[in-house]
Structure 1
Amino acid sequence: MPNKNGLENWVPTSIAYGFLDFTPYNKQFNYPTTPFLLKSPMHFTIPARVAPIPWNLVYDGLFFIRDTQATKKSE
């Protein structure tokens, strides 16, 4: 479950998936360093720890997928 103040909840519920490009955002707001919450890759390995850092400076962008599913090994 994403944090109630996290990026996942800023995306309108009508959007199932997409790409968030931080490049225009960074240019428009002069590379803001305000931390925000995001379920990063570490959220699976470190339960209950979601680091508030300026993710827009860590990634150029990210793929957003609202409902994910586990993959199955093909036979």
Structure 2
Amino acid sequence: MLYVGTHDTTISGSRNDFLALNLWYVFQKKGAKVFKEEGKQCIKNATYLTQKLKENEASQCWPFSKSNHCSF
């Protein structure tokens, strides 16, 4: 990848690997089980938000399947 006039060979595709290193560190501290639980909670939150917006007639809201994102 060419980025700001130089080849980028970092894992994260940015100018440095700090984000990837930070993610690795947090993953090591918390563990996979905690990340899975947090991910499931994020998906529940997105579903809840979508339901509440639709109840309040914000019908232009759609959740993304198995994702913590919703579009409106």
Q: Tell whether the structures are fold-level matches, with TM greater than 0.5.
A: no
TM-score by length of 2: 0.24
TM-score by length of 1: 0.23
Quick check: which has more Rg, 1 or 2?
2
